[in-house]
Structure 1
Amino acid sequence: MKKHRDLIVSPFDLLTDEIVFAILDRLNDDALAKKSFSLACKSFYTIESLHRRALRPLRSELVTRLLKRYRFISHLDLSLCPCVEDGTLFRVAAETQSRLRSIDLSKSRFFTHAGLSSLVAMCAGLVEIDLSNRTELSDSAAAVLAQAKNLERLRLARCKMITDMGIGCLAVGCRKLRLVCLKWCLRVSDLGVGLIAMKCKEIRSLDLSYLPITEKCLSPILQLEHLEDLVLEGCPGIDDDGLATLKHSCNSIKMLNLSKCQNVSHVGLSHLTNGAEHLQQLILAYGPAVTADMAKCLHYSSGLQSIKLDGCSVTTSGIKAIGSWLASLEELSLSKCSGVSDESLSFLVQTHKELRKLDITCCRKITYASIDSITNSCTSLASLRMESCSFISKDAFTLIGRCCQFLEELDVTDNEIDDEGLKSISRCSKLLTLKLGICLNITDDGLTHVANGCPKLKELDLYRSSGITDAGIAAIAHGCPTLEMINIAYNDKITDRSLISLSKCLMLKALEIRGCHSVSSVGLSAIAMGCRQLMVLDIKKCVNINDNGMIPLAQFSQNLKEGFVSFAADKLVILFSYRCRALGPCQHKPATEHDYLTLGGFDP
């Protein structure tokens, strides 16, 4: 009998590593599933270790141990580790060596150019590094990075101590750069940017937001043969007079961002976009007024697919000129644009019928007539944002579900929509995101229609929608089992019954119940035990949640990364005592009434 038992083979042993790797590939979006897989048996534990290529440790003390288990890591994200010292970077470099391809240090502190030197010296295969928000890094760190000859993607946003000298070192040493972000690098001027453009000919994406630059550096930039994305947001030194002196245009550019460039009018824009045959996306948010002249300079940009004019003052003639473009727009954003009227918007949507995304947030002059034109003309809409369009009557919302059944995102926050409108919208079976905050005319009946008709819903916002009770939340929890985010803040009618219902939504990642005075530790315990993937939790001003709710939260919410609380310090100590292994070096910082919790400790 013993020999017979020895001959029994597990069916999993018959699977090759390649087949198991293919299974793991399908679990990439579900961290808990991969963890369960690795704990099934020793062979699966080993295979999962060999398969993993990306790692995001919760704290720096775990890094060395994890890298010893996962020997083939090529992408290391340390954004959850606020304390990363030079020794940590040395150990990372020693363990990964040439296998490491990218590292994210955008939220890490305490390391210096010495730690970076270890990475560069031992990780010859490094092609991407993110050092954003390291305001202490200076030109010495840039000089070290210049030794990374294979570097292709470099992010230095808010590295405010780096100057033209450091950027010059990078330009000379890193000739293979394809993406460079220098946003808020306030000591970098035309000289540094010009050096990058002249030396790094492979650049595809360049972010120069808020730099003290002028048109002097634009000439070499526009000569980059492969440049596709150029961001010049908030650069006041760029103006019409300077742009008029440009002798070159960049015909490879696909995305141009001139947001908050108040000194660029249609005159400068025409010089910058002249010859840009492949331009697909243009962002002019919070810039000069959109007039007929502004629109006409883009009349022949036939490849333009997306334009964002958020916060701009628009004229009727300007909007109509956009409607006459040769291009067939797929995305248009007019959020917070003053001057948008029924007449101009109706004309525009009747000519751009292929629109897939439309944002008319806070366009307070439009009425039922605009919605009628939008829904009849743009039947392929996938995203419609129309928060705070206060003159639109409740009857208009029935048109949305009747005509735009391909919608995946709908934002009707602070509008007059009622249950009949929700009943119509429930026809949009592909809906993933629905925002109904401050909608005072909706009740459980309307929400039940949504639950029955939109089973794919992942995000639901019911902030201050006071007509919703436990019954409506129960309907959503039952009808939308893949729900990932819900906001039911400031609703006195929400009780523990709602949280118990939501605890059945196993994919729930974000829950906001701030100011729900009728929920207690009973409901929070149910959420903690049922929603193991919870990452964001807001329980501020939930006065009936006490220590009994915090203990299950600490025990079961192992993925919790952000929490908003307003308890006394002694109640938070409970959370600390259970979660101390996941807390960073700031765990002993005293708690105050409105502290913000993260796995790295309290941030002020």
Structure 2
Amino acid sequence: MSALKENVDPPLKKKKPPRWSDIWLKNTKPLKHLVFSMPLQSQTLIPNFPNIDRTLLLSDELLLDVLSRLPLSQRNPNSLVCKRWLNLQGRLVRSLRILDWDFLDSGRLFTRFPNLTHVDLLNGCLFSPRDSGIMLTHRLVSMHMSSGFCSNCKFLQENMLSVQVVDKGLQALANGCPNLRRLVVINASEFGLLTVSEECLTLQELELHKCNDSVLCGIAACENLQILKLVANVDGLYTSVVTDIGLTILAQGCKRLVKLELNGCEGSFDGIKAIGQCCLMLEELTICDHKMDDGWLAGLSYCENLKTLKLLSCRRIDLSPGPDEHLGFCPALERLHLQKCQLRSKKSVRALFRVCETVRDIVIQDCWGLDDDMFKFASVCRRVKLLSLEGCSLLTTEGLEAVILSWQDLESLTVVSCKNINESDISPALATLFAILKELRWRPDANSLLVSCLVGTCMGKKGGRFFKKT
């Protein structure tokens, strides 16, 4: 009987039906939605659930303040956390380069980045094949290109959006970004720019590519514009013309300009004079690859508050500058920067230094034709404190010495990659000058031994605190 009892199965227990509270506690998804909708005042009642996002207890303003204090390198990873963080990071973005025009045209730009102040539309206005392995790189633009490129064609001019499409995008941008401060655009008309001028009253910096005289009528309403870059003609890329008419319109409309760059622009004495007379706050003028008529240098004397003059990639300066009594000079000019210019005309170089006779800093980099005869015209600049020469292969030690010994205020000297300046030709007078300089950077060629020879001497320390070794 005992064996039989052991083989008998125990009676089955009835399984209790599940209670609603047990199911509710095991499945926390509905609870998450409940927690998300709870106000911050009830946060003490929230149970300790491990899968709840604690940052949801923070308001958007507080979380924005936290995210804004993180380094820029963490912004992209932070935007991948969740949709909320993605939207918040978009509100922190102030500067953006548009690569896809549809992103602007569809309106997604303003939803994703509502607080933009700096927008670059240059690459977005160009047709660029993404799958191409050929890259066109220019100092103004960099983009992919097809294999059918011809060097004799205006490549960008044939691969950019129409004026109507660009103007429509500018209108949308003006309505979506009323606090815009900086804009870069190509192939726009005066109507598109006029919309930006009227809607974006805080616009301070503008860069226009492929602009002409009529386009400049559209920025006359930019009363607060301070920095302007005009790119009219670029050889091999596109063609456009800015003349004295456009420069005069610009001068009369944008009277608060502080920095102005003219790239590939035409013009003459009248255009530069108008800028000097109207733009009284202009402090920096950059002229790149200009197409100006002879005699334009004399117009610089009307820029009474100009402090910095830069000439970049100019094939000529001014072949017929006129007599000295008509040239005048810039009374407030402090810095003269010449880079990749052709200094082959003695009249041009002499007139340039005459106009810039008040400069304190002279920087000359990779300029062709600067020999001893050309450099001697710089002796008219009696207030020079800093001289930097780089890539001046025709200048000799004698030519350098003849000029800098006449500068009583010289404090800093840089000579780099000037192969005809030999250390063996350094005279005692030049060595004495080196000894009283506050800063000396001397590397005329790769075989220069001057730095090693100065070890243990007082040269380079007598008049200053340091001697730079390169």
- Cα drift, residue 152 of structure 1: 4.8
2:202 matches 1:176? yes
Q: Give CA deviations for 1:282-311 in whole Å, capped at 9, x if unaligned.
A: 223314245683694553311111223431
- Cα drift, residue 203 of structure 1: 0.7
Say whether the 8 Å CA contact 1:292–1:319 is kept in structure 2.
no
Residues 225-264 of structure 1: pairs in structure 2 closer than 5 A: 225-235=255-265, 238-240=266-268, 243=271, 249-264=278-293
Q: Distance in 2 between matches of 1:417 and 1:215?
A: 49
2:222 matched residue in structure 1: 200
2:308 matched residue in structure 1: 281
Say whether the 8 Å CA contact 1:193–1:217 is kept in structure 2.
yes
2:232 matched residue in structure 1: 210
TM-score, normalised via structure 1 length: 0.48
Any idea what SS the aligned residue of 1:226 has? coil
Any idea what SS the aligned residue of 1:143 has? helix
2:397 matched residue in structure 1: 367
Give the share of equivalent positions with the same residue, in percent. 15
1:352 matched residue in structure 2: 382
1:50 matched residue in structure 2: 66
Q: Distance in 1 between matches of 2:74 and 2:322?
A: 49
Any idea what SS the aligned residue of 1:169 has? helix
Q: Give CA deviations for 1:301-323 in whole Å, capped at 9, x if unaligned.
A: 11111223431324455555555
Q: Distance in 2 between matches of 1:299 and 1:66?
A: 64
Q: CA RMSD in A?
A: 4.3
5+ residue gaps, structure 1, are: 1-45, 70-90, 431-452, 461-604
- Cα drift, residue 104 of structure 1: 3.2
User: Cα 1:169–1:244, aligned 2, differ >3 Å: closer, same or farther?
Assistant: closer
Say whether the 8 Å CA contact 2:174–2:195 is kept in structure 1.
yes
- Letter of the 2:226 partner, please give it: R
TM-score, normalised via structure 2 length: 0.60
2:164 matches 1:134? no
Residues 520-599 of structure 1: pairs in structure 2 closer than 5 A: none
2:433 matches 1:407? no
Residues 172-571 of structure 1: pairs in structure 2 closer than 5 A: 172-182=198-208, 185-186=209-210, 188-196=211-219, 198-210=220-232, 212=240, 213-223=242-252, 224-235=254-265, 238-240=266-268, 243=271, 249-266=278-295, 268-271=296-299, 273=300, 275-285=302-312, 286-289=314-317, 293=321, 296=324, 299-310=328-339, 311-316=341-346, 319-320=349-350, 327-342=357-372, 345-346=375-376, 348-349=378-379, 351-371=381-401, 373-374=403-404, 377=407, 380-382=410-412, 384-396=414-426, 399=431, 402-403=434-435, 405-407=437-439, 410=441, 412=443, 414=445, 416-418=447-449, 420-424=450-454, 428=460
1:147 matched residue in structure 2: 175
Q: Distance in 2 between matches of 1:291 and 1:404?
A: 39
- Cα drift, residue 52 of structure 1: 4.6
Query: Residue 105 of structure 1 is aligned with which of 93, 97, 116?
Result: 97
Q: Distance in 1 between matches of 2:72 and 2:448?
A: 42
Say whether the 8 Å CA contact 2:179–2:200 is kept in structure 1.
yes
- Cα drift, residue 228 of structure 1: 1.4
Say whether the 8 Å CA contact 2:203–2:225 is kept in structure 1.
yes
- Cα drift, residue 117 of structure 1: 2.7
Q: Give CA deviations for 1:483-516 in whole Å, capped at 9, x if unaligned.
A: xxxxxxxxxxxxxxxxxxxxxxxxxxxxxxxxxx
Residues 66-145 of structure 1: pairs in structure 2 closer than 5 A: 91-92=86-87, 94-95=88-89, 97=91, 100=92, 102-105=94-97, 111-113=103-105, 114-118=107-111, 122-123=114-115, 126-136=116-126, 138-145=166-173
Q: Give CA deviations for 1:48-107 in whole Å, capped at 9, x if unaligned.
A: 9838557534785653549978xxxxxxxxxxxxxxxxxxxxx44x5554xx47223367
User: Cα 1:394–1:257, aligned 2, differ >3 Å: closer, same or farther?
Assistant: same
Pairs aligned (count) = 351
User: Cα 1:47–1:150, aligned 2, differ >3 Å: closer, same or farther?
Assistant: closer
- Cα drift, residue 150 of structure 1: 4.3
5+ residue gaps, structure 2, are: 1-61, 127-160, 234-239
Q: Distance in 2 between matches of 1:381 and 1:110?
A: 55
